[in-house]
Amino acid sequence: MRFEISKVLDAIEGRVCTDPSLARAVVDLAEVIRYQDIDGGRPASLLRLGMVIDALSRQLEEDGVQVYAVVHRALLSDADLTSNERMVIRRWADDGLVEVLDNPGDRIVEVADLLGVPVLSRRRFDGLRGRFPWVAEEPGRVLAPVPGAGGPALVAHVGGGDKPVSGARSAAGAKLLARQWRCPEAGCALFGGGGGGGAFADLARVQRSPAAQAPPTLRGGVPTCPRHGSRLSDAGPRPRTEVLAVRIGGLVRRRFVVSEEQPVLVGRAPEGDGGIMLGQWLNDEARRWISRNHLRLELRVGEVIVTDISTNGSGIRPGGSLAEGDRIALAPKQSRVLAENDMVELYPGVQVGRAEELPTDATFTPASVMAEAPTMAMRLPRP
Ligand SMILES: [Zn+2]
């Protein structure tokens, strides 16, 4: 049983990040793990984070959705969690997958404001209306996870709908996220590299691209490390990024980021770190057709360049058209600029394009991040 719980927690680990391009909502972990009415279980359970991520995934009709979790430091020693759960949260903290703070205060809403994403919380944040008017004015920007049939449902505080709404990054967010930042504290998990933290950098389990750096907090208008309260130094422009997505059989399986400094390989089982592995989602025929390394995607002066590196070739779908006559062959070793709305098709039904232009196109239900959870861990209300 313990082993299975660990597998669930590993799956949830893949769904937390502080990457401004990939996080789709912000959550306060200390709050979410205490939504006891969701499953009627223990006072605190890390599995509830998975249930809330599932609810978001269902609403966005996308698999692999990631959230930005802010963690109160007291949680690292919270006796209501199992020792295994505390260990997992500590690991996430060390790897900078979550943001750990002595006093989260209004940071959850600040991150949502900077990134332009919704907050998942039962709190109303009335005290923050002055600074962040959207909290009280824009429907779908703050949603409460509440018990529902088959897992939590989301209810918007404003407007009462159930659709999470993303906006544009705020002006402050756009400015902060155009630069890279360095924290003077050695080994800072969020803004590392400062203060001679070389030894710590070597210990880091996760190599992070500067393009994926968390947003600083603003204190008196000064970019500050939310963890250490130290003033951050400007480390130059942040590499440009483009968010792409993989859609298979009509369902968006995951998003990924291509930056100017980091090309991405997509294929059945790409070599090296950071590749997008499709193998687990493909049927036998598609698995035979699609090469281990099939496509290379890169960003050059703002344009997405796709290069076929496969044995069998790919096709471009101009403007996203799926009509057979519209397919333009992309032969092995050929490159092409991916124009607006274009998708590249590795095999019929296996597509890559810009995330915003590649919605899930049918009534598909995303797989649960909790799929591996033993039933005892989640006594969900029956539909
Ligand atoms: Zn720091």
pLDDT tens by residue, 54-90? 999 999 999 999 999 999 999 999 999 999 999 999 9
Give me the DSSP letters along 298-353. Answer: EEETTEEEEEE-SSS-EEEEGGG---GGG-EEE-TT-EEE--TT-EEEEETTEEEE
203 vs 100 pLDDT, higher one: 100
Mean pLDDT of 219-236: 96
pLDDT at residue 183 above 60?
yes
Instruction: Give the tens place of pLDDT for each residue, 145-163.
Output: 999 988 899 999 998 899 9
Instruction: Give the tens place of pLDDT for each residue, 326-351.
Output: 999 999 999 999 999 999 999 999 99
Give dist(CA 276, CA 266) in Å, integer: 5
CA of 185 to the centre of ligand 1 (A): 5
Give dist(CA 150, CA 154) in Å, integer: 13
CA of 135 to the centre of ligand 1 (A): 28
Q: Which backbone phi and psi does 74 adopt, to 5 degrees?
A: -60, -25
CA of 21 to the centre of ligand 1 (A): 20
Mean pLDDT of 228-257: 95
Helix (H, G, I), strand (E, B) or coil at 148: coil
CA of 264 to the centre of ligand 1 (A): 28
Give dist(CA 90, CA 159) in Å, integer: 37
CA of 85 to the centre of ligand 1 (A): 24
Helices 47-60 and 2-13 pack at an angle, to 10 degrees, of: 50
CA of 228 to the centre of ligand 1 (A): 5
CA of 203 to the centre of ligand 1 (A): 17
Instruction: Give the tens place of pLDDT for each residue, 187-205.
Output: 899 998 543 334 444 444 4
Residues 6+ apart with CB under 8 A from 136: 126, 129, 158
Give dist(CA 95, CA 79) in Å, integer: 22
CA distances from 280 to 77, 283, 309 (A): 36, 8, 20
CA of 225 to the centre of ligand 1 (A): 5
Tokens representing residue 100 in the block? 């750990």
Give dist(CA 38, CA 153) in Å, integer: 9
Instruction: Give the tens place of pLDDT for each residue, 113-154.
Output: 999 999 999 999 999 999 999 999 999 999 999 999 888 999
Give dist(CA 109, CA 167) in Å, integer: 13
- Asked if 58 and 16 count as a contact pair (C-beta separation under 8 A), the reply is no
Instruction: Give the tens place of pLDDT for each residue, 285-334.
Output: 999 999 999 999 999 999 999 999 999 999 999 998 888 889 999 999 99
Sign of the torsion formed by the C-alpha atoms of 266, 270, 271 and 276: positive
Least confident residue range of 14-18, 228-232, 374-378: 374-378
- Asked if 356 and 62 count as a contact pair (C-beta separation under 8 A), the reply is no
Question: What pLDDT was estimated at residue 262?
Answer: 87
CA of 223 to the centre of ligand 1 (A): 11
